[in-house]
Amino acid sequence: MTPQNMAAQSPPSSLTIRNPATGSVVGTVAVTPVAEIDAVVARARAAQPAWAALGLDARAACVKGAIATLKARAGEMGALACAEMGKPLKEAIGEAGYANDSLGQEIDEIVAALRVELLEDEKTSTRLLFDPLGVAAVITPWNFPILMPTQSVIPALIAGNTVVFKPSEVSPLSGDLWARCMIEVLPPGVLQIIHGDGVQGSALVRSAVDLVVFTGSRATGAAIMRDASAGLKRLLLELGGKDPLIVLEDADIKAAAQFAVRNSFRNAGQVCVSTERIYVADKVADAFVQAVVDGARALTQGDGACETTQIGPMASARQKKIVMDQLRSAIADGAKCVVGECDGANPSEGNFIRPTVLTGVTHAMSIMRDETFGPVASIMRVSSDAEAVALANDSPYGLGAAVYGSQARATRVADQLTAGMVGINQGCGGATGSPWVGARQSGLGFHSGKYGHRQFAQVRSVSRAK
């Protein structure tokens, strides 16, 4: 092998992060050599007993020590997220602000969930204890690079685990800054960062960790399950969705259309609970489609750093290709582009895709079966509530769903949907303390809320006779 070929085969020593809107370099991070990952995990293993021995309240107090720094640097984190993955600056700073401002309350909820619980009957008294699992590998996605570490790393730490954290290679800079703010207040080895792509991720999963926490695609989730299977490791996997919206004939059409526009196009559709499939009663379909089209046309697209931008670019050229391949395939199979990227106008340059509305779609099309993760609203007419339910459930996914209609009718429909989270005349997010949970192939395990926080721990039952 020639020296030139040897260089071509060598793994990269760093990642160069470019702004997807402008192509300019945002920064670089050093890639963690695969050969060093076992040593990183060994340091985490060595640090774990002392971290666990501190006790629940002391660990919580230690983690809370980072809140002031996190809040102070929220604007910096948001600006990095905007630059490295294209999210509008206001939304990116809002993500950082929400994650950091709510962290104290979140920690208190985690502590409450992990306290010893007492169960008693006439003969037996049982204590439920929530012990650390050991070392947790946390691998987070590029679309919410600040919020997802907060929701995955923090409960793992409070539960007494040490954590090896790998942010996405697409948007590692904001996650790296978040983690370094945390590391400042933690004992050595309790939280460590590695960087890289799927090569490093796979090596981390195959290393001597006890728990793998991952948010990302279904295909990567399946690969993680294979890599983790030899060690029978605990898994918490959120694996995306193909969320349906059902619009009943007695729905508030204006409100339903506003939700569809917001939830289909927010963050350029790069949200796990984006609305990707819309089933609308034939009687109100014309009015609904027109309202969605008007809403899509009114959105301002551009560089996320511009104050007027509402929709940024795709986070990468790879992501744009996935969406465009689905769009072209659907149109070739008979779908109609009413407005957006394939409506006959000049195609968008760079990584941009205009907010797009399709009609005439069917479940034979990839765009109604496979996760799109782009700014596309695909609308299908239905003749009955039963047809809408059957179509909404005709998917291997089951993360979120929404139903718009009169309260009683929408509730009846919502109760028939196979999804982990369903919203009635709203998005799928629940009240404070609700879990973030998927059904079917949208997840294995779940996070947030009392029962989600407990999945970062080993439940131990200790019983005695009364």
| Interatomic CA distance for residues 140 and 121, integer angstroms | 42
Which range (30-34, 293-297, 429-433) has the least confidence?
A: 429-433
The band of 158, judged by pLDDT with boundaries at 50, 70 and 90, is very high
For 189-199, write each residue's pLDDT tens digit.
999 999 999 99
| pLDDT for position 403 | 98
Helix (H, G, I), strand (E, B) or coil at 294: helix
Q: In this predicted model, what pLDDT tens digit does every residue of 305-315 receive, in sequence order?
A: 999 999 999 99
Predicted pLDDT of residue 72: 96
Q: How far is CA 120 from CA 125, 162, 461, in A?
A: 5, 33, 12
| Ordered DSSP codes for 360-412 | S--TTSGGGTS---SSEEEEEEESSHHHHHHHHT-SS--SEEEEES-HHHHHH
> Looking up tokens 């948010």, which residue turns up?
215
Phi, psi of 158 (to 5 degrees): -60, -35
User: Which of 62, 82, 272, 337 is labelled catalytic?
Assistant: 272
Question: 95, 169, 238, 341: which is the annotated catalytic residue?
Answer: 238
Percent of the chain with pLDDT over 70: 98
Q: What homologous superfamily does CATH list for 243-396+400-431?
A: Aldehyde Dehydrogenase; Chain A, domain 2 (3.40.309.10)
Q: In the annotation, is 272 catalytic? A: yes
Q: What pLDDT score was predicted for residue 194?
A: 98
What is the average pLDDT across 125-144? Answer: 97
Q: Do residues 249 and 381 touch, judged by C-beta distance below 8 A? A: no
pTM exceeds 0.85 for this model? yes
Average of per-residue pLDDT across 90-106: 94
Tell me how far apart the alpha carbons of residues 356 and 333 are, in angstroms, rounded to a whole number: 17
In the annotation, is 91 catalytic?
Answer: no
DSSP 447: B
Task: Look at residue 164 and give its three-state secondary structure.
Answer: strand
pLDDT for the residue 344: 78
Task: Please give the Cα distance from 426 to 256 (Å, whole number).
Answer: 9
pLDDT at 7: 42
**Per-residue model confidence (pLDDT) at position 119:** 97
pLDDT grade for 8, boundaries at 50, 70 and 90: very low
Give per-residue pLDDT as tens, 330-381.
999 999 999 999 877 888 999 999 999 999 999 999 999 999 999 999 999 9
Predicted pLDDT at 254: 98
What lies within 8 Å, CB to CB, of 364 at 6+ separation is 333
> Which residues fall within 8 angstroms of residue 352, CB to CB, at 6 or more apart?
21, 301, 313, 314, 320
Query: Minimal CA–CA distance to 154: which of 116, 118, 110?
Result: 110
- What digits encode the pLDDT tens for the residues 11-48? 789 999 999 999 999 999 999 999 999 999 999 999 99
User: What's the confidence (pLDDT) of residue 343?
Assistant: 77
Spatial distance between the Cα atoms of 170 and 86, rounded to a whole number of angstroms: 11
Q: What are the structural domain ranges in the chain?
A: 3-240+441-465, 243-396+400-431
Check residue 9 and give its pLDDT. Answer: 57
CATH architecture, range 3-240+441-465 = 3-Layer(aba) Sandwich (3.40)
